[in-house]
Amino acid sequence: MSMDTLKSLVVAIDFTDGSKAALAEAVRIAKWNRASLRAVHVVESLVLADLEEALGGADPDLRENVLEDTRKAWREFATSVPGSESVEFDLRVDQPSEGVASAVEASGADLLVMGLQGTGEGNGAGTVATHAVRRSRVKTMLVRQDHTGPFRRIVVAVDFSPTSREALFAAMRLAAQDDAEVHAVHVFNPPWLRLHYRSATPQAAPDYRKQFMDALSRRIESFCAPDDPETRWVKPTFHVLENRNHGYGIVEFAVANGADLVALGTRGRANLRDFFLGSTAERVVRDAPCSVLTVPPAS
């Protein structure tokens, strides 16, 4: 299986520093892939309705004036990011995550790019970003507002699923673009701590532990063997890590190794809270110290 070149990107704009970083990254990726790029901003319908009600019809042109002010804000915003002056601007009135999702669907985009944090939000992923990832049917890159320029160290979460293989492909393509390191990481919950019907102990027999780790090391190297000519020269470094929580293990590794991007697949779970975004992806999107690239299941 080879990786397709990206053909169309959508970048979500909310005029924050986070979306400025997202716009710069989207421009850079679109240029390298020779892809089209569309920026979308969603004016929240409930806020607009509340404003219209509060003014009681005093300004009959309120809606159009707000939209025109937003278009003007975009023109000023675009001048602050080199290369974005000619980017097409899509302005919508909707619920934010719904509006972004519909813009992605309408444009047939291969990649959605947005800031990791939104207006008034803390260090973790913003509410709109998290909701967008949950319902996205395309790859989604959440860009930290302090990220600039090429990625240098990319961590890929590998769980041997088809989705994590797609995440690996996407990461290797970015590595080829940016001449970045790729660290393929498999985090496992030790079976000797989970087989409660046996006399499990925190310390497994050394020979068994080594045999288990060696088997996983061979498996991840085989799983990550490149099969695309464009990225065949990208040589990932492989890591097999023991941790009771897969998401926490990925975040911990990213922090310890100074990663500026984590790539991983999203998967549905039986748990209702994690139905649209797997529990590992939920943890990484929430706690990652860097930008995040999520890849949804093909189905």
pLDDT in tens, 39-86: 999 999 888 888 888 877 667 788 899 999 999 999 999 999 999 999
Torsion over CA: 164, 166, 171, 172 (sign) = positive
Last residue of a domain, one of 98, 130, 145: 145
- 31 and 91 in a single domain? The answer is yes
Three-state helix/strand/coil letters over 130-151: HHHHHHCCCEEEEECCCCCCCC
Least confident residue range of 11-25, 82-96, 97-111, 259-273: 259-273
233, amino acid identity? W
Q: What is the pLDDT of residues 233-291, one digit of tens each?
A: 788 899 999 888 888 899 999 999 999 999 999 863 333 344 335 577 878 888 888 99
- 159 and 253 in a single domain? The answer is yes
- CATH, residue 165: 3.40.50.620
Give the helix ranges, DSSP H, for the chain: 17-33, 45-55, 62-78, 96-107, 127-135, 162-178, 206-223, 246-256, 279-287
Question: What does the DSSP 8-state code read for residue 190?
Answer: -
- 170 and 196 in a single domain? The answer is yes
Spatial CA neighbour of 42 closest among 119, 123, 146, 133: 119
Q: What residue numbers bound the domain in which 173 lies?
A: 150-299
Question: How high does pLDDT run on average in the chain?
Answer: 84
Q: Is the distance from CB of 143 to CB of 126 less than 8 angstroms?
A: no
221, amino acid identity? E
Q: Is the distance from CB of 147 to CB of 25 less than 8 angstroms?
A: yes
Q: What is the pLDDT of residues 23-41, one digit of tens each?
A: 999 999 999 999 999 999 9
- 118 and 235 in a single domain? The answer is no
Q: What is the pLDDT of residues 140-171, one digit of tens each?
A: 999 998 998 899 999 999 999 889 989 998 99
Q: What is the spatial distance between Cα 284 and Cα 251, in angstroms, rounded to a whole number?
A: 6
| Cα angle: 192, vertex 186, 166; to 5 degrees | 140
Q: Is the distance from CB of 140 to CB of 133 less than 8 angstroms?
A: yes
Q: What is the spatial distance between Cα 130 and Cα 140, in angstroms, rounded to a whole number?
A: 10
Q: What is the spatial distance between Cα 246 and Cα 70, in angstroms, rounded to a whole number?
A: 42
pLDDT of residue 185: 95
- 154 and 299 in a single domain? The answer is yes
- 252 and 277 in a single domain? The answer is yes
The number of distinct structural domains making up the chain is 2
193, amino acid identity? L
Q: Give me Rg for the CA atoms of the chain.
A: 21
- 42 and 139 in a single domain? The answer is yes
Sheet holding 36-44, edge to edge: 88-94, 36-44, 8-12, 111-115, 139-143, 291-295, 261-265, 153-157, 181-188, 237-242
- 218 and 252 in a single domain? The answer is yes
| Contacts of 98 by beta carbon, 8 Å cutoff, 6+ apart | 42
- Is a pLDDT exceeding 50 seen at residue 101? yes
Last residue of a domain, one of 145, 162, 185: 145
pLDDT of residue 2: 39
Q: What is the pLDDT of residues 251-260, one digit of tens each?
A: 999 999 999 9
Longest dimension (CA), the chain: 79
* pTM of the entire predicted model: 0.85
- 185 and 140 in a single domain? The answer is no
pLDDT of residue 201: 54
Spatial CA neighbour of 186 closest among 260, 264, 133: 264
Q: What is the spatial distance between Cα 91 and Cα 127, in angstroms, rounded to a whole number?
A: 20
